[in-house]
Chain A
Amino acid sequence: MLQTISVLLENKTGALMRATGLLTARGYNIESLTVAKTLDPTLSRMTIVVDVEPRLRAQVIKQMNKLINVLQASDLSESPSVTRELLLLRVRAAAEEGNNGPRTAILKEAEIFGARVVDSSVEGFALEVTGDTEKLDEFIDVMRSYGDIEVTRSGAVAVSLDPKKLRLSPPVPRGAEPTTVNVES
């Protein structure tokens, strides 16, 4: 089963590589990866989907949390969360005189999937749709039946519905011991 990992990390050179490097070093292939700035522009939120052996999942999360640039890494596959993906799809459906058949059908199908037309030309349409992975897979199957398609998927973005308290280390005076993270609470 795929594991969805959400990582809040510093928006710094190399931070992304450190997080993904932990997976590649263990020989895991990343299925999808999205990353973008958060409300705080010094931080990024990353969603990684990866197939990790079940017994090693907790270890991977612990190792990520050890990275200096990582503020919080959590496993979303084991807690309530919502995952969505964006898909951009071009379908070839040339307008023919007196026969608008496939084009109308495509627009109908798009409406069923809640897709939006982002470009329309005599050759066909570009459509935008969001949803979970299964829905997007289905959408692709349906569109394929109408003609040649071209697809770009964003990869999963996920949000936990069970927000964990974020523990950050406060600044320490130089030369002092680190403030210990409170484990009692």
Chain B
Amino acid sequence: MLLECLVREGVECIFGYPGGVTLPLYDAMYDNPIRHVLVRHEENACFAAQGYARATGKVGVACATSGPGATNLVTGLVDAMMDSIPLVALTGQVPTKLIGSDAFQEADTFGITRSCTKHNYLVKNIHELPEVIHEAFYIASTGRPGPVLVDVTKDVFQGQVHYTPVTSIHLPGYKVHADGHTGQIRRAAQMMWEAQRPYVYAGGGIIHAGAHQELRELVEILDAPCVNTLMGLGAMPSNHPNFVSMPGMHGSYAANMGMYNADLLIALGVRFDDRVTGRLAAFAPHAKVIHVDIDPAEIGKIRNADLPIVGDVRRVLQKLNPVLRELEPSMAARNSASRRAWWSQIRAWKEEHPLTPATSSTEIKPQHAVAEIDRLTRGEAIVTSDVGQHQMWSAQFIRFNHPRLWINSGGLGSMGFGLPAAIGAQFACPEKTVVSIVGDGGFQMSVPELATIASHGLPIKIIVLNNGYLGMVRQWQELFYNNRLCSVTLDSFPDAEKLAGAYGFKGRTIEHVHELRPALEEAFAENGPYLLNIRVSPTENVYPMVPAGGAINEMVLAQPQPVAVP
């Protein structure tokens, strides 16, 4: 019954881990065309389902048993919630008559996951099941996407009832504001032409809405500079002349200076995250804000919008772009001199402090390794990352020419995300090159998934930027805690060749600069999985950096030079 609903939702692939109460479900799966990928930990089922969803835009499906299975999904659910990823999680629950009796592997999944999902259900009656499953997919994938959990009791799994098709979905309280207000859109177009220093701040919403074409059109009509947030990388092709780079804590000098000095911020599918804004009072202080978001609660949450538009950013831009064109002949000339000056200012900032990867002749700089990966992937590969320094370097130096290539845990910042997400992405896009750039910390959180990769022969290129530290934490201890390094040293790391070999695929460790390029080429040429452990410079820090609570125009651009003690 449940599988019948999933088939009708077009589900091709489930990432999961079976257990006692889901046995009837797995028994039914035996005869079903839906592919079940057995991960090695439930948390990774959620991350893999996210990788699948992020790479395709389709709903990812994760499955776990009751109790520990369900609680292990929690991190992945919160992660999906923070990054607005469409996900349906199915969990087993103990039989209805045992609920509340502290039965074996019982947990209050419905209660535990209430605040980490867009919506959740507990199904105790099989007749409710089809409606609930279809509602779950509908809620997960429409409006602002998000995770939905369906907790199903064992007796419901066991029930045998004929599937009666669900023809309509009725959720009277589920409000989706998709079409922007026409009057507001007109006013927005007016403001855009009136601005002297317009600046497009585009985020993950562009990717979720599939609005990258429309975004590009808008940027080109206005000839405005455009930045993409960490979640929005790939929304504008990196090689586009109007693309500046990523703004924020580790954004480029030009991106942040542009943000600070703009007189109009065109905020599209963004939520003014603290990692972008820095100290709010000093964020874009001269700018008026046009904020387009599908979620009305995002408007004015952090920064007041001078012109709010609640709507699906794609539909809004589809209405907005023609108005911009219509106004172009009468308005474009008005500020063209100041706009030219604005562009030259941005170019000057870019030249003043360009984002260039550090290199060295004696050791492998992590930035250098990332730049080499970029050289090989040419903005066309799916790159998943974990969380930390390597994530920021990847965001800075890897180009993404299309949306849905850059997959990382943005809002929640979950370590251990990169490797399982790569599994999901590779299942979703078997023909694409999938690279997982991870740190030595996060990698060791997701090591069990090497087994999943090996058993399916997934040709994922796992690149460990190994600095022997929890690098980002070390960076903060160094800069803000007087260099009192505490519990950040990862002094033991397995031999990559032996580790990969133990799983039956190739692996290697390199530490010299001259090995970097050939080793990466070897990894990318390999038909199967490859684990490349790169020993990088251990003390490298991520710059530019806006210290937490700092103003975005006051970046620390490089490692402070040690001051000679007299």
Q: Do A and B bind each other?
A: yes
Chain A residues in contact with chain B, CB under 8 A?
9-10, 13-14, 17-18, 21, 25, 58-59, 62-63, 65-72, 167-174, 177-181, 183-184
Q: How many residues of B contact A (CB 8 A)?
A: 38
Interchain CB contact (< 8 A) of A171 among B120, B143, B170, B301: B170
In the complex, B490 has a CB within 8 A of chain A: no
A-B contact pairs, 12 of them (CB 8 A): A14-B120, A62-B297, A65-B175, A66-B295, A68-B173, A72-B173, A171-B168, A172-B138, A172-B169, A174-B166, A177-B142, A178-B142
Nearest opposing residue in chain A for B168, CB measure: A171
Decide if A21 touches B122 in the complex (CB within 8 Å).
Answer: no
In the complex, B68 has a CB within 8 A of chain A: no
Given A59-B297, A174-B168, A169 contacting B174 (CB threshold 8 A): yes
Nearest opposing residue in chain B for A168, CB measure: B172
**Chain B interface SS verdict (over half):** loop
Decide if A180 touches B177 in the complex (CB within 8 Å).
Answer: yes
Interface 1/0s, chain B 126-158, versus A by CB < 8 A? Answer: 000000001000110011000000000000000
B307-353 interface with A by 8 A CB criterion: 310-311
Decide if B176 touches A174 in the complex (CB within 8 Å).
Answer: no
Interchain CB contact (< 8 A) of B114 among A17, A172, A184: A17
Given A21-B114, A68-B173, A183-B310, A172 contacting B168 (CB threshold 8 A): yes
In the complex, B119 has a CB within 8 A of chain A: yes
Interface 1/0s, chain B 80-119, versus A by CB < 8 A? Answer: 0000000000000000000000000000001100110011
Interchain CB contact (< 8 A) of B174 among A59, A68, A183: A68
In the complex, B217 has a CB within 8 A of chain A: no
Decide if A10 touches B175 in the complex (CB within 8 Å).
Answer: no
Interchain CB contact (< 8 A) of A14 among B114, B166, B174: B114
Given A63-B297, A66-B297, A174-B134, A181 contacting B175 (CB threshold 8 A): yes
- What distance in Å separates the Cβ of A70 from its nearest Cβ neighbour in chain B? 5
Chain B residues in contact with chain A, CB under 8 A?
110-111, 114-115, 118-120, 122, 134, 138-139, 142-143, 166-183, 295-297, 300-301, 310-311
Q: How far is the CA of A173 from the CA of B170 in the complex (A)?
A: 9
Residues of chain A within 8 A of B311, CB atoms compared: 183
Given A58-B300, A174-B134, A168 contacting B173 (CB threshold 8 A): yes
- What distance in Å separates the Cβ of B313 from its nearest Cβ neighbour in chain A? 14
Q: A169-B172, A177-B178, A180-B177 are in contact. List 8 more A-B contacts (CB 8 A).
A: A66-B175, A68-B173, A169-B171, A172-B138, A174-B167, A177-B142, A178-B176, A183-B180
Q: How far is the CA of A184 from the CA of B182 in the complex (A)?
A: 7
Given A174-B134, A177-B178, A184-B182, A70 contacting B168 (CB threshold 8 A): no
Nearest opposing residue in chain B for A9, CB measure: B173
Nearest opposing residue in chain A for B180, CB measure: A183
Residues of chain B within 8 A of A65, CB atoms compared: 175, 296-297
Interchain CB contact (< 8 A) of A10 among B122, B139, B169, B173: B173
Residues of chain B within 8 A of A173, CB atoms compared: 167-169
Decide if A184 touches B181 in the complex (CB within 8 Å).
Answer: yes
Residues of chain A within 8 A of B170, CB atoms compared: 170-172
- What distance in Å separates the Cβ of A23 from its nearest Cβ neighbour in chain B? 11
**Of A14, A167, A174, which is in contact with the most chain B CB atoms at under 10 Å from its CB?**
A174
Decide if A14 touches B179 in the complex (CB within 8 Å).
Answer: no
Interchain CB contact (< 8 A) of B181 among A18, A71, A183: A183
- What distance in Å separates the Cβ of A98 from its nearest Cβ neighbour in chain B? 58
Decide if A68 touches B168 in the complex (CB within 8 Å).
Answer: no
Chain A-chain B contacts (Cβ-Cβ < 8 Å), number: 93
Nearest opposing residue in chain B for A56, CB measure: B301
Residues of chain A within 8 A of B111, CB atoms compared: 14, 17
Residues of chain B within 8 A of A180, CB atoms compared: 176-179
Q: How far is the CA of A184 from the CA of B185 in the complex (A)?
A: 11
Nearest opposing residue in chain B for A67, CB measure: B173
Residues of chain A within 8 A of B110, CB atoms compared: 14
Decide if A68 touches B139 in the complex (CB within 8 Å).
Answer: yes
Q: How far is the CA of A184 from the CA of B184 in the complex (A)?
A: 10
Q: How far is the CA of A7 from the CA of B512 in the complex (A)?
A: 64
- What distance in Å separates the Cβ of B153 from its nearest Cβ neighbour in chain A? 13
Nearest opposing residue in chain B for A65, CB measure: B175
Residues of chain B within 8 A of A9, CB atoms compared: 173
Nearest opposing residue in chain A for B144, CB measure: A66
Q: How far is the CA of A181 from the CA of B175 in the complex (A)?
A: 6
In order of increasing CB-CB distance, the 9 nearest A-B pairs are A62-B297, A171-B170, A180-B178, A178-B176, A168-B172, A171-B168, A71-B173, A68-B119, A181-B175
Q: How far is the CA of A68 from the CA of B148 in the complex (A)?
A: 11
Nearest opposing residue in chain B for A24, CB measure: B115
Q: How far is the CA of A144 from the CA of B20 in the complex (A)?
A: 59
Decide if A178 touches B114 in the complex (CB within 8 Å).
Answer: no
- What distance in Å separates the Cβ of B25 from its nearest Cβ neighbour in chain A? 22
Q: How far is the CA of A172 from the CA of B168 in the complex (A)?
A: 5
Q: How far is the CA of A65 from the CA of B295 in the complex (A)?
A: 11
Residues of chain A within 8 A of B138, CB atoms compared: 172, 174, 178
Residues of chain B within 8 A of A167, CB atoms compared: 175
Residues of chain B within 8 A of A10, CB atoms compared: 172-173
Q: How far is the CA of A40 from the CA of B188 in the complex (A)?
A: 42
Q: How far is the CA of A184 from the CA of B180 in the complex (A)?
A: 9
- What distance in Å separates the Cβ of B314 from its nearest Cβ neighbour in chain A? 12
- What distance in Å separates the Cβ of A107 from its nearest Cβ neighbour in chain B? 47
Decide if B143 touches A178 in the complex (CB within 8 Å).
Answer: yes
Nearest opposing residue in chain B for A18, CB measure: B114
Nearest opposing residue in chain B for A68, CB measure: B119
**Of B118, B171, B301, which is in contact with the most chain A CB atoms at under 10 Å from its CB?**
B171
Decide if B169 touches A171 in the complex (CB within 8 Å).
Answer: yes
Q: How far is the CA of A180 from the CA of B312 in the complex (A)?
A: 10
Nearest opposing residue in chain A for B122, CB measure: A13
Q: How far is the CA of A18 from the CA of B118 in the complex (A)?
A: 11
